[in-house]
Structure 1
Amino acid sequence: MREPSRTIVESPHDLLGLVGAELGVSEVRSVSQADVNAFADVTGDHQWIHVDVERAKEGPFGGTIAHGFLTLSLAPLLLADILDVRGFTMGVNYGLDRVRFIQPLRPGTPIQGVATLVDAVELPGTDDKSASGVQAKASLVVEFADESQPCCVAELLFRYYA
């Protein structure tokens, strides 16, 4: 298990100087079977490997596993532990460049996120002379906390507007 750590920046523009730096490590979290079942209800994905506890015991993973997209949906929660950006009026998720589900996540398994800032660029203002904000790309590795082995790897794009 890694010690949680956090980066605090007073302005999105401070991210420009942190490209290549590890931003931190999240608190330890876990996904419960109830979380998996609720995600199945929301998405309509009730495949037995996710929700049928008895049948999944005999399946390829020895029990149920979280949906890959449920694991990915934890990114904002994990990043909130890792990065605190101040001095902006609005932040938005802008998209993803790459996602891989490396290993299945069993409910109850402790996980942590580890983030590295891959890129940060100024966003042009409406008059093209001033910056209106910053677009950043972070690599987030969701790890099994007890093993530091990757479960999910994603490159996340987000924008902070002044």
Structure 2
Amino acid sequence: MKVWVDADSCPGVIRDILVKAAQGRKVEMEFVANHHFQLPPSPYLTWRRVPQGADVADQEIVARSVAGDLVIASDLPMANDLISKGVQVLTHRGEILTKENIKTRLNLRDFYETMRASGIQSGGQATFSQTDRREFANALDRALTAALRGSK
């Protein structure tokens, strides 16, 4: 199992949790982004730079991931593509996206896009709280535990 991270949209606090988890669990983790950022030296961490452009990192992750991998991302169309490949998706807020909940999430996203296009502002997502960080860390721990248990 490999963990892929959509690093273009990954908050720094979540990236820090991921780095600690990769090193502590000895899990291969690849960060994909179109901008440079620093990762600590580790045999478990890699960084892949992709060209600038909308959804280039997303397309790279979809193309390279395989069934059984885990992707950390909040992009719903990408998550839908990944789920259909048998890839597990965990959002930055600690929610596991599945074939049972992705369609509803996509419909809600489209609804909010339509509202914004008509001039109605929804306010966007709240900033990350300590609870959000803890929820993500706990969900990541559960996902890694399940994946590592399944690979033995």
TM over 0.5: no
Say which structure is richer in strand.
Answer: 1
Say which structure is richer in helix.
Answer: 2
- TM-score band, normalised by the shorter chain? under 0.3
For CA contacts below 8 A with separation 6 or more, give which structure has more relative contact order.
1
User: Larger Cα Rg: Structure 1 or Structure 2?
Assistant: 1
